[in-house]
Chain A
């Protein structure tokens, strides 16, 4: 393998995988084929029954958060695990002696100026407001917990880039971020467990109608989805901030970019 090198090996791997994928795609039903198994009973059910069963007009949200709620819960857990893994790999708790520091980028590229700071300070509230709208309005328009959470996290990252990491960490300290990350996943799993305690299946939100005031079983599913979207948004926001803070300060949390 010496004469090939890592890139040649990668090229061969990509070509073989690509050929296998192209061959496998031939067995798929055609794009939009009305006779394919998915289009015959699964999709029509979601398309025609979603509004009556869950009172959520956006079918994608109802499939992700309700019909496939278990799947989305573990996606959130994957994000959380990614954040924990980044902490384990990068975070330096004891400030060791500086040794073998790789070359820094030239400071010309990393300095900040007053125009950027002012614009960012004006922009961040609107970004966060829009992110909250995306989370809350995910039932009716494209969006939801993941997108809104990423945007919330990005607003804090923007603050960290334009000022420095310390300013962002003063708003959202490391301790707070980690607690929020856990709380987000816990909200999701907690709502599922409450459904269980109320006599339904795990993540069967219609059981929530027993404790939510003035709600029938259909609206309860809509409200349950909103609850778990909020949990997802909190977890994703916190984890984005954790990953950025660790990457940009080499795990020391002293100065960012």
Chain B
């Protein structure tokens, strides 16, 4: 565990999480959530949980982002609230 590396990733995770909630454009929010998942994947790898990181990269950053994107494309891009 390199604490500087840890600190950078954790800061970016928090920034991405808040940005994903605050963004009004749902397409951007989905992409930021994908970035969040990828940062979580880096965090798992750094903690030594490689299997979990692999799942996070495949499911969280990959497929669920596609699901969010296709849902946005088929509904509406702007959030109401």
Residues on A lying within 8 angstroms of B by beta carbon are: 5-7, 58, 60-61, 102-103, 105, 109-110, 134, 142-144, 146-147, 150-151, 153-154, 157, 161, 240, 243-244, 247-250, 256-257
What would 13 more interface pairs be, CB under 8 Å, given A60-B51, A142-B53, A146-B55? A61-B51, A102-B74, A102-B75, A134-B54, A144-B51, A146-B58, A150-B55, A150-B59, A161-B66, A243-B67, A244-B66, A244-B67, A248-B70
B29 CB, min distance to chain A CBs, angstroms: 14
Whole-angstrom CA separation of A64 from B14 in the bound complex? 30
Interface residues contributed by chain B, number (CB under 8 Å)? 20
Q: Which residues of B contact A61 (CB under 8 A)?
A: 51
Q: Which residues of A contact B81 (CB under 8 A)?
A: 5-7
Tell me if B76 is interfacial: C-beta within 8 Å of chain A. Answer: yes
B73: contacting residue among A142, A144, A157, A248, CB under 8 A: A248
B54: contacting residue among A7, A102, A142, A249, CB under 8 A: A142
Q: Which residues of B contact A143 (CB under 8 A)?
A: 51, 54
Tell me if B77 is interfacial: C-beta within 8 Å of chain A. Answer: yes
Known A-B contacts A5-B81, A143-B51; the reply to A247 vs B70 at CB < 8 A is yes
5 contacts between A and B (CB under 8 A): A153-B63, A247-B70, A247-B74, A248-B74, A257-B70
Whole-angstrom CA separation of A105 from B26 in the bound complex? 12
Measured CB to CB, the nearest residue on chain B to A5 is B81
Q: Which residues of B contact A7 (CB under 8 A)?
A: 81
B54 CB, min distance to chain A CBs, angstroms: 5
- Among all A-B residue pairs, the 10 with the closest Cβ atoms: A248-B70, A142-B50, A150-B58, A60-B51, A247-B70, A142-B51, A147-B58, A142-B54, A147-B54, A105-B73
Q: Which residues of A contact B73 (CB under 8 A)?
A: 105, 109-110, 248, 257
Known A-B contacts A105-B73, A257-B73; the reply to A240 vs B51 at CB < 8 A is no
Known A-B contacts A143-B51, A147-B58, A151-B58; the reply to A250 vs B74 at CB < 8 A is yes
Q: Which residues of B contact A248 (CB under 8 A)?
A: 70, 73-74
Which residues of B47-81 have CB atoms within 8 Å of chain A's CB atoms?
50-51, 53-55, 58-59, 62-63, 66-67, 69-71, 73-77, 81
Whole-angstrom CA separation of A60 from B51 in the bound complex? 7
Q: How many A-B residue pairs have CB under 8 A?
A: 63
Whole-angstrom CA separation of A147 from B69 in the bound complex? 21
Whole-angstrom CA separation of A249 from B74 in the bound complex? 7
Chain B CB within 10 Å, residue with most, of A5, A60, A134, A247: A247
Q: Indicate if the CB atoms of B77 and A105 lie closer than 8 Å.
A: yes
Whole-angstrom CA separation of A243 from B74 in the bound complex? 13
Q: Which residues of A contact B63 (CB under 8 A)?
A: 150, 153-154, 157, 240, 244
Q: Indicate if the CB atoms of B66 and A154 lie closer than 8 Å.
A: yes
Measured CB to CB, the nearest residue on chain A to B59 is A150
Whole-angstrom CA separation of A150 from B77 in the bound complex? 26
Measured CB to CB, the nearest residue on chain B to A142 is B50
Measured CB to CB, the nearest residue on chain B to A131 is B58
B58: contacting residue among A102, A154, A249, CB under 8 A: A154
Measured CB to CB, the nearest residue on chain B to A149 is B58
Known A-B contacts A154-B63, A243-B67; the reply to A147 vs B74 at CB < 8 A is no
